[in-house]
């Protein structure tokens, strides 16, 4: 009885502190989502606010042809593939502390995605014709899919559904498999499309992708049915795509028009976000910081559960 009473008091205090910290975070503006992108021509990784303001160069050396990028806000790290150096690297979110994680066995790695809960990164390597994964520190590299691929170059994860999705630019397919590489399925096999990048809205049961030569952005159900053309005009060569689900937006890079643009998830409301200073923008990722209130609450729940106070 006494332990239950102490548990309730501790939990109430945690909730109160979480609310206060959440309010403070919102008032002082410290919780600001960012877009991160790679530019392989000017050899930079950059970031900005979601409206395109506050553009920063954050990595400008030690890279050759940065392709795709993925952000781990909880771990305060960003990860990217470099097909010029044939390696996977990471750094702090401000660009400091660059580390080379995987430096051998790669040949033009492109798409990258993170499973931060299980401490894994997944990537598509175009010229070794593989989908692979490793620990977030680059250790324990595993081959997941090694047959039936031509130019795999983009990857997205549905961790809750135990699935990974990728684009093969050679076979012009969108495929998926279990996270261990088993049970490969063809979802979309349309030889008229030049598929480039993919992102998922799993709770809505949708996948979004760029059709570069077709100058389109499209979506479909996660099983490949119900293909829709969302944006069919005003695009040059859409490349990377990233969804910002909380804001109901999608962002993409256009390597022909040297732009970053956004629109609503249904394709309406197209807006130019960044139109200067770009030369060949490719991969793009959205960093959505976790409010301090939610982080504290999660830590508190973990603390109580591990000690069996309740």
Q: Residue 172 in contact with residue 150, Cβ under 8 Å?
A: no
Give the single-character DSSP code of 245. Answer: G
pLDDT score at 290 = 62
User: How many Cα neighbours within 13 Å face the side chain of 263?
Assistant: 19
Query: What's residue 25's pLDDT?
Result: 38
Q: Which residues, 6+ apart, have CB-to-CB distance to 207 below 8 Å?
A: 156, 165, 174, 187, 198, 199, 200, 201, 219, 220, 221, 222
Asked whether the CA dihedral 175, 180, 181, 183 is positive or negative, the reply is: negative
Written as tens digits, the pLDDT of the chain (310 aa) is 444 444 444 444 444 444 434 433 333 334 589 999 999 999 999 999 999 999 999 999 999 999 999 999 999 999 999 999 999 999 999 999 999 999 999 999 999 999 999 999 999 999 999 999 999 999 999 999 999 999 999 999 999 999 999 999 999 999 999 999 999 999 999 888 899 999 999 999 999 999 999 999 999 999 999 999 999 999 999 999 999 999 999 999 999 999 999 999 999 999 999 999 999 999 999 998 765 444 444 444 334 333 333 3
Element (H, E) at 22: helix 2-27
How far is 275 from 222, CA to CA, in rounded Å? 32
CB under 8 A, 24+ apart: contacts of 10-19: 10/300, 10/304, 10/309, 11/300, 11/304, 11/310, 14/296, 14/297, 14/300, 15/297, 17/296, 18/292, 18/293, 18/294, 18/296, 18/297, 18/300, 19/293
Predicted local confidence at residue 2, as pLDDT: 45
Q: What is the pTM of this model?
A: 0.85
CA atoms within 13 A on the CB side of 33: 15
pLDDT of residue 32: 82
How far apart (Å, rounded) are the C-alpha atoms in residues 192 and 214?
8
**Phi, psi for 186 (deg, rounded to 5):** -85, 125
The pLDDT value recorded for residue 31 is 55
């Amino acid at each position: 009885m006494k332990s239950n009473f102490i548990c309730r008091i501790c939990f109430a205090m945690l909730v109160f502190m979480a609310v206060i910290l959440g309010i403070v975070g919102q008032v002082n503006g410290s919780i600001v989502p960012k877009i991160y992108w790679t530019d392989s021509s000017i050899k930079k990784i950059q970031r900005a606010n979601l409206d395109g303001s506050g553009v920063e160069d954050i990595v400008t050396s030690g890279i050759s042809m940065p392709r795709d990028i993925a952000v781990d806000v909880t771990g305060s790290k960003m990860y990217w593939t470099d097909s010029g150096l044939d390696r996977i690297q990471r750094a702090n979110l401000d660009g400091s502390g660059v580390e080379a994680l995987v430096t051998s066995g790669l040949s033009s790695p492109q798409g990258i995605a993170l499973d931060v809960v299980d401490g894994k990164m997944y990537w598509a390597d175009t010229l070794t014709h593989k989908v692979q994964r490793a620990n977030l520190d680059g250790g324990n590299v595993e081959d997941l899919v090694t047959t039936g691929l031509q130019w795999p170059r983009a990857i997205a994860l549905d961790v809750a559904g135990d699935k990974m999705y990728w684009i093969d630019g050679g076979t012009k397919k969108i495929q998926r498999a279990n996270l261990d590489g088993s049970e490969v399925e063809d979802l979309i096999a349309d030889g008229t499309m030049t598929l480039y990048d993919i992102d998922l809205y799993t709770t809505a049961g949708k996948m979004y992708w760029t059709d570069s030569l077709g100058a389109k952005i499209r979506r479909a159900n996660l099983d490949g049915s119900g293909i829709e053309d969302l944006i069919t005009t005003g695009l040059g060569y859409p490349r990377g795509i990233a969804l910002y689900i909380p804001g109901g937006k999608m962002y993409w890079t256009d390597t022909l028009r040297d732009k970053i643009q956004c629109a609503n998830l249904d394709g309406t409301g197209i807006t130019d976000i960044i139109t200067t200073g770009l030369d060949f923008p490719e991969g793009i990722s959205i960093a959505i910081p976790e409010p301090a209130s939610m982080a504290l609450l999660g830590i508190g729940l973990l603390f109580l559960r591990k000690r069996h106070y309740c």
